[in-house]
Homo-oligomer: A and B are copies of this chain.
Amino acid sequence: MARFDIYVTYKKGIFDPPGATAERALQNLGYAEVSSVKIGKFIQLEVADGTGVERVAEMCGKLLANPVIEDYRIEPVGEA
Contact = CB atoms under 8 A, between A and B. Distances in A.
Interface of A: 1, 7-9, 19, 22, 25-26, 29, 31, 33-48, 51, 55, 59, 62-64
Given A34-B47, A39-B41, A43-B38, A29 B62 contact: yes
A9 to B, nearest CB: 7
- Quick one: copies of this chain in the complex? 2
A38 B39 CA distance: 16
7 contacts: A9-B42, A22-B43, A26-B59, A35-B46, A39-B41, A39-B43, A40-B43
Given A41-B42, A64-B22, A34 B59 contact: yes
A13 to B, nearest CB: 15
